[in-house]
Structure 1
Amino acid sequence: MKKENKTTPPTPKPARDAPVVGSGANGKNTIGDIARLAGVSKKTVSRVLNESPLVRPDTREKVLALMQNVGYVPDPQARGLAFRRSFLIGLVFDNPTAQYIVNLQYGVLDALRGSGFELVVHPCDSKSENYIDGIRRFAQLQKLYGVILVPRVSEDQALAEALREIGCRYVRIASVPLDEHASMVLTHDRHAGTEAADYLESLGHRRIALITGPKRYRSSIERGGGFIDALARRGVELSPELVYEGGYTFESGVAGAEHLLTKHPRPTAIFACNDEMAAGVYKAALRMGLSVPGDLSVIGYDDSPLASQLWPALTTIQLPVRDLGRQAAAMLLAEHWPKSSPQAQAGISVSPHLVVRDSCQPPHS
């Protein structure tokens, strides 16, 4: 009787497209399996799941193709495992000039378009005792990716330290360096004040008045300081009685001009440290029967749409506010920007400059 030969059949190899048996419960693939098979980190896989814009397109395609190939269904808890922040950029401000904030938002949105990030705004009152706690809660509750700080809150060192403590990225827009270069966008307000003074004095004005912003705003100090120092270099001393502290509002411009234009002799020119206050100067001059620029030359600051809408059109300092927002947002998104790079060391800045229109002329002799 013949003995039957028994042989063990070879184990069939899985088809190339067959799902890979994972290490998770019930043999399901885990995020770690996907990361191992794709040759990337679990953080990268989590970012792909969260549709993060921080993943390179080729890496995203490779990971997604692998997930589809193995039939991977993500655990809801895996989403955000490695990326614990939202794709939200916060804009924090305490600024009374509405048009400035609107233009700044447009610039931020320019930079965020197509990036997957969105903008959320947080107005605050920096005179409130607990305003820093409020901003901290805002950043934590929204899980903000980063924050853009606008003057005057950008000038508050305690706020910057509070954001560092909770690990929230930030960029500060300010007239002078207040932080490391990679966290600053500079506006050089002092230089702009100098340019306004040089122009008025070159026209022959010697009796010149100044309406500043609030003293607690560094921008106000820099604009006014640059203006006063430049006049002094040209031999024109600005009398303290011709300096009025405004509030960066239209109403404070009216009040400031009404106060200054009662002085004897009356000033022949006024530099207002933003366009809204300059518009207030126009109103006060009209009430008093004075013409611009026949009796009074006026310079503003910002070059907001209001400047070209006034009659006569306002000579003003052009501050590219929209570009400020664009630059600040781009800096936040540059997560892997090495701080030792030439751009980081030099920092980012914008240069305001004088735009001459119709509101100034030489004084009557």
Structure 2
Amino acid sequence: MTVISKTAAGSAEGSTETERDRRRPTINDIARLAAVSKKTVSRVINESPFVKEETRARVNAVIDELGYVPDPQARGLAFRRSFLVGMIYDNPNPQYVVNMQQGILDALKGSGYELIIRPVVRSDPNFLSDMRAFVERQKLFGVVLPPSVSEDERLAALLNEIDCPYVRIASVPLDEAESMVVTHDHMGGEAVAKHLLAHGHKVFAHISGPLTFRSAHERRRGFCEALAAAGVSLPDAYVMEGAYTFESGMACGEALLALSPRPTAIFTGNDEMASGVLQAARKAGLRVPEDLSVVGFDDFQIASRLWPPLTTVHAPTTDVGRIAADRLIRGEDDGRARRYDPDSILPYLVVRESSGPALA
């Protein structure tokens, strides 16, 4: 009986050990028990200097108590010391990329972190495998994701899987607040509609960005909803999809200006397309703003250098990049993290000479 009992006990002990192996603690367990975010646990593991000492001690105590060992697939990331921050983007507008990059660099200045840039094509069948290899090969501390790559849920899931911190920039909330900077693009479209309505316009047209971009939908939504509130509809024939490029703005502008009745005001999804519409108006012999008002979105350097200077929505891209990078490397749990006023990144209208009263 004693032998049977010892065998049973040994069997039970073995079963308990197997069960314990199956329930290996995860980074989520550490975060929950230490009462911090998953991102903070990653910062502690990666020995980031941007974690308060009391927070670091609390997380390390839980790690030691549970005997936590990072997943083997993420092992290279778990002990990275590269101090590299990635910016992964798929935006076709070079000025957007430059302004975003400048904001990130402003945030990294003096921090010891460096920026590495990676353009991508999300339709590439190797997109996700390439992103995994990029993050792991560079041993990135984390990544900033501007739109529209920020809107790819597959990429967010991959970064979570390999424990790579990220901050997403998008026109609407897509993630936990600590991992987001929201730009509220619809408010810019609304401001454009109200401005043009106040100038007596009744025949409107809109050139959106690529519909694979959430920003294109949001800018159009704000514009259309403000028109609808004033009892004005925007027929389908007066809405075209561009590519956020000069060429697409010019082509769409030519098509819209051939309609009857001809629109007296065109709102474009960015300044590059607005510059194309100005060119189309010149080719058609139209005066801006006397015959046609043109309004863009972004307020990049080109807007004030066009003739006439462009009325446009100011989107603080550089500030948004700085805030995203600051949030990534410092985090909410670091007492040195710079706080910001959410109103500081809201879009607003800048009125210049490309818009004016509609002809009577």
TM-score, with structure 2 as normaliser: 0.77
Are the aligned partners of 1:90 and 1:148 in contact in 2 as well (CA < 8 Å)? Answer: yes
How many positions carry a matched residue from both structures? 293
Counterpart position of 1:362: 357
Give CA deviations for 1:308-357 in whole Å, capped at 9, x if unaligned: 00011000000001001100000001246279x9x79x989720000001
1:280 is matched with 276
CA-CA distance at 1:159 after TM superposition: 0.8
- Aligned-residue offset at 1:136: 1.6
Q: Distance in 2 between matches of 1:110 and 1:219?
A: 24
**Residue-by-residue CA offset, 1:65-108 (whole Å, 9 max, x unaligned):** xxxxxxxxxxxxxxx99842410000000000000100011100
1:126 to 122, 133, 147: 122
The structure whose RCO (Cα within 8 Å, separation 6+) is larger is 2
After TM superposition, give the deviation of residue 137 of structure 1 in Å: 1.2
SS in 1 for 2:88: strand
Query: 1:1-365 counterparts in 2 under 5 A?
Result: 53-54=49-50, 83-335=79-331, 337=333, 350-365=345-360
Backbone CA RMSD of aligned residues: 2.6
- Cα offsets for 1:203-250 (capped at 9, x unmatched): 000001000011111000000011011101011111110001001011
Q: Would the aligned equivalents of 1:92 and 1:124 in 2 still touch at CA under 8 Å?
A: yes
Paired with 2:127 and 2:165, the residues of 1 have a C-alpha distance of: 18
Structure 1 residues 56 and 198: CA distance shift in structure 2, 3 A: closer
Give the direction of change, closer, same or farther, for the CA distance of 1:336–1:210 in structure 2 (3 Å limit): closer
Aligned-partner Cα distance in 1 for 2:101–2:114: 11
**CA contact under 8 A between 1:318 and 1:355: conserved in structure 2?**
yes
SS in 2 for 1:210: strand
The separation in 2 between residues aligned to 1:199 and 1:56, in whole angstroms, is 47
Q: Percent identical across equivalent pairs?
A: 52
Equivalent pair of 2:291/2:358 in contact (CA under 8 Å)? yes
Query: Does the CA-based 8 Å contact 2:50-2:330 persist in structure 1?
Result: no
C-alpha distance in structure 1 between counterparts of 2:238 and 2:303, whole Å: 23
8 Å Cα contact 2:183-2:347 kept in structure 1: yes
8 Å CA contact 1:196, 1:317 repeated in 2: yes
Name the aligned partner's letter for residue 294 of structure 2. V
Once residues 300 and 226 of structure 2 are traced to their aligned partners in structure 1, the CA distance between those partners, rounded to angstroms, is: 24
What amino acid does structure 2 have at the position aligned with 1:279? S
Structure 2, unmatched stretches of 5+, are 1-42, 54-75
Give the conservation status (yes or no) of the 8 Å contact 1:186–1:349. no
Change over 3 Å in CA distance of 1:217–1:349 after alignment to 2: farther
CA distance in 2, matches of 1:347, 1:311: 33
- Compute the TM-score of the two structures, normalised by the length of structure 1: 0.76
Question: Gaps spanning 5+ residues in structure 1: where?
Answer: 1-42, 58-79
Alignment check: 8 A CA contact 1:53 1:116 kept: no
Q: What is the Cα deviation at residue 130 of structure 1?
A: 2.1
Per-residue CA deviations over 1:15-45 (Å, capped at 9, x if unaligned) read xxxxxxxxxxxxxxxxxxxxxxxxxxxx99x
C-alpha distance in 1 between matches for 2:77 and 2:265: 62
Amino acid at match of 2:348: H
Secondary structure, counterpart of 2:116 in structure 1: strand
Q: Is the 8 A contact 1:209 1:242 kept in 2?
A: yes
Secondary structure class of the residue paired with 2:224:
helix
Give, in whole Å, the separation in 1 of the partners of 2:268 and 2:357.
18
CA distance in 2, matches of 1:176, 1:308: 28
Distance 1:348 1:308, change over 3 A: closer
- Structure 2: how far apart are the matches of 1:82 and 1:92? 20
Distance 2:109 2:247 in 1: 36
Larger C-alpha radius of gyration, 1 or 2? 1
Letter aligned with residue 356 of structure 2: Q
Q: 1:229 to 1:247 in 2, by over 3 A?
A: same
